[in-house]
Structure 1
């Protein structure tokens, strides 16, 4: 089962509990497999939220048994340097500083760090040193918020 298929399986239950599935990482194989689920809600995540979602996901995974081998389930908040992957994530964090890595160079450049100034279903716009760069979301390998401390 791919990460996308797994997300489609788990997302309705997570949303039903009042949370957003922000990201999912599945590193499976052998005895050291890990399934990491990152959740969020408008007023933030506390330990009890993670426990609640973990119990619900564990029940689904026990019944559906979609993953081979042994693995540890981890549920947590996305953190200050949260990963952005959906158009809604980019729209939510307009005005924030982001770090972007593209799958392939665009105009000779693969890495960007700047202010997220626009976003829609297909593209984001990042301002780096006063210059705007339009980046198709489908070309993004990794996008993260840059925490301001």
Structure 2
């Protein structure tokens, strides 16, 4: 997590929680000539557009007064969606025995991207069960090798 996203998380977390929502993710990215501050929120029965609008309004008010970002940016408050990223330990716990997508910094068994079932996790590794052609294989992936991990919708 970058210094900016850490600072923003510290600023917006109390706001999001006061509204009864969970802060899922904070992302600050440049796409083309524009910068985007993306904030993903959720609640047990799901987030709707009114929830996003309310959170966006409250976050904008506070960020106008205490913004660590010097560049102009677009604020995007949304649901994490069905393919929610796994950021916190609780996200991993909730994803046990669920399909996940993992993108690695370097190949493991010849591939950098995997879709499989999360079987276990600890501070060092995740264990996934993935189909390789006609076989199912279980293997450990060091968490330090993971570039991105999220739930996966598999049809």
Length-normalised TM-score, structure 2: 0.83
Deviation of residue 107 (structure 1)? Answer: 5.6
Contact 2:100 2:152 in 1 (8 A): yes
Establish whether residue 27 from structure 1 lines up as the match of residue 29 from structure 2. yes
Q: Indicate the SS of the match to 2:56.
A: helix
Number of the residue aligned with 1:92: 94
Number of the residue aligned with 1:64: 66
Q: CA RMSD in A?
A: 2.2
Deviation digits for residues 53-105 of structure 1 (CA, Å, limit 9, x no counterpart): 11121111111021112211111101112222222211111111111012233
Aligned residue-pair number: 149
1: CA distance, partners of 2:89 / 2:43: 17
Length-normalised TM-score, structure 1: 0.86
Structure 1: give runs of 5+ residues left out of the alignment: none
1: CA distance, partners of 2:144 / 2:116: 19
Moved over 3 A (4+): 28-31, 105-109
Q: Indicate the SS of the match to 1:2.
A: helix
Number of the residue aligned with 2:141: 135
Contact 1:91 1:120 in 2 (8 A): no
Deviation digits for residues 24-55 of structure 1 (CA, Å, limit 9, x no counterpart): 22125997321111111111001111112111
2: CA distance, partners of 1:63 / 1:29: 25
Number of the residue aligned with 2:125: 123
Deviation of residue 116 (structure 1)? Answer: 0.9
Contact 1:87 1:122 in 2 (8 A): no
Q: Indicate the SS of the match to 1:138.
A: helix
Number of the residue aligned with 1:114: 116
